Amino acid sequence: MYSISEIAEKVDISAHTLRYYEKEGIIKPVRNDSGVRQFDEKHLQWLQFVKKLRETQMPVSQIKEYTRLFLKGEHTANARLNLLEEHQQYIRDQIETLLATDDMLTKKISTYKELMRESLVK
């Protein structure tokens, strides 16, 4: 079992964020007899998944919906699949936009470098 500070370090998120996720129902840590939060390997894996979703701009509201569906059971698998497929498409759209922007910037940078070379020759 991990303490809140240990799990926060392992996942590289703050204890404050963990408390927020608990308040929002995204994570439900076990509490010992003293009321101290404890996390296990399943919590660790779940939090790593949630962190990736947040890093790819999935709103907390959608993560909460995914969590709610997951906790309802297997009969929600199709709804969870749809939610993840929609997010994956969002990510792919962002990748396409970033690649196009990178290409545009590469061309613009090349143009500036060429202009600078030409001005040095003159």
Main-chain dihedrals φ then ψ at residue 74, nearest 5 degrees:
-60, -25
How high is the pLDDT of residue 120? 80
Q: Give me 99's structure tokens.
A: 């690649």
CA torsion 48-54-57-63 (nearest 10°) is 100
Helix (H) or strand (E) holding 60: helix 60-72
pLDDT tens readout for residues 18-77: 999 999 999 999 999 999 999 999 999 999 999 999 999 999 999 999 999 999 999 999
CATH number of 1-55: 1.10.1660.10
Q: What is the mean pLDDT of the chain?
A: 96
How high is the pLDDT of residue 77? 97
How high is the pLDDT of residue 76? 98
How high is the pLDDT of residue 122? 64
